[in-house]
Each structure stands twice: as C-alpha cells, then as structure tokens.
Structure 1
Amino acid sequence: MFKGPKIYHNPRCRKSREALNYLNECGYSVEIIKYFETKLTSKDISKLLNKINLKPIEITRKNEIIWKKKFSKMN
C-alpha cells in the first residue's frame, strides 16, 4: 500500500509552509513531523541522508548566522 509523503515541517518557515500547501493542493495525504517538537536523532538524520544520497554539508544552511560565526572558515 502506498504511503503518502512525509514532511519534516517547521510552521514558522515560509518554504516549509509552501511545500506543505503544495502537497495538500496535489491531494496527497501528508504525514507531518514538526521537527522542533519531535527531535530527530542522529540515526534519523543518517537514514534521511542515505535516502536522498547527500552528505551533511550538502544540506547545511550556510547563510545562517551560527554557521557564519562558527563554521564558515572550515570550508
């Protein structure tokens, strides 16, 4: 049986809200995981990265202040 898409959602994020609206408009039954309320474990994150075949650095938001202050010189 087909399971609908799962979205790791931040209601305060415009892009997350837009993605959820798009999926709903397309008629999908969406499983919503509010990741600020339901924390992801490192194992959860590893599984997701394996599914999308990306490395952590490839999904890092490099325009965030914390990245610029602490990590930007590492690259």
Structure 2
Amino acid sequence: MQMEDGSLKPGVFGYCTIADRQEIVDYAQCSKVAVTIGDLLGFEAARSMTVLDCKSHVAHLAGHRMEMQLNVARPAS
C-alpha cells in the first residue's frame, strides 16, 4: 500500500489526525466503494463511509471482532 518513496498509494489513508479524516471525506465524495481495515476504529470509519454514500466493506484480520477489547465468546458449559 506504499509507493517507493514511502508515501501511501492514492486512495489509501491513515486514520490518525483530523487532517487524515478530512482527506478521507474529500476522497469519498467522488468514490462509490470504500474498504476499511481494522477493528473498532475501522467499523466507525466504515459507518462514516455509508453516510457519505459509499458502499462500505470492512476487512478484519482477527478471528473475532474487537479482539483487543473482548475475549473470544465461548459456548456455555
């Protein structure tokens, strides 16, 4: 997702600062589909994309959502 100079490819954004968020909003206004990667922040970003009329997808690499905040659900014994 990076260019040879270390910058992010066009359409790929970090989600750390207010300026990052504004870049995402600006880009989303001329986009139809968005993919967010991550957990809680990714879900919030994905919801924001739907508000901006983008079809939104979430890619999450862990086995369950919010893996840093929640334990794996286990069936009752």
Q: TM (normalized to structure 1)? A: 0.34
Structure with the bigger RCO (C-alpha within 8 Å, sep 6+) is 1
Larger helix proportion of the pair: 1
